[in-house]
Amino acid sequence: MVQVGALVLLVLAWSWLAVVMRASADVFAAAVRLLAAVPWNAHSARMAALRYPLIAASCALIPMAAGTALLRHGVVALVWIVCAGAASAWPLVRLARATRLADPCP
């Protein structure tokens, strides 16, 4: 029972992170389109775009840590981090691309 609860925590944390990363990339792309004619600062925009993904990642780490503790296997945390990185990589590339394309001279 404990193991099932731990797995649920791990999967929920990973799903939450994946959804937030995807949503952040979508929303940021929409913001870039909206502000296409406005002279915004690319560095500030990048920081603003990363704020929510970072908060989401911090939140996801709590249930992940709890799940890992319940399973008592350090390697689970490592696997979770690899999976989270895989789910976050493409949204992060999209965030970086959107700022670079919108402001070629930061």
Cβ–Cβ under 8 Å, residues 45 and 99: yes
**Which part of the chain contacts other proteins (CB under 8 A), choosing from 4-12, 30-38, 69-77, 90-98?**
30-38
Pick the closer one to other proteins by CB: 43 or 72. Answer: 43
Burial 19-47 (b: 16+ CB within 10 A, else e): ebbeebbeebbebbeeeeeeebeeeebbe
Binding residue for other proteins (CB under 8 A) from 8, 36, 62, 86?
Answer: 36
Q: Does 47 interact with other proteins (rule: CB under 8 A)?
A: no
CA separation for the pair 7, 70 (Å, rounded) = 9
Cβ–Cβ under 8 Å, residues 71 and 65: no
Q: Does 52 interact with other proteins (rule: CB under 8 A)?
A: no
Q: Does 50 interact with other proteins (rule: CB under 8 A)?
A: no
**What are the structure tokens assigned to 101, written together?**
């394309």
**Which part of the chain contacts other proteins (CB under 8 A), choosing from 51-59, 72-80, 85-93, 98-106?**
98-106
Q: Which positions touch other proteins (CB under 8 A)?
A: 30-31, 33-41, 45, 103-105
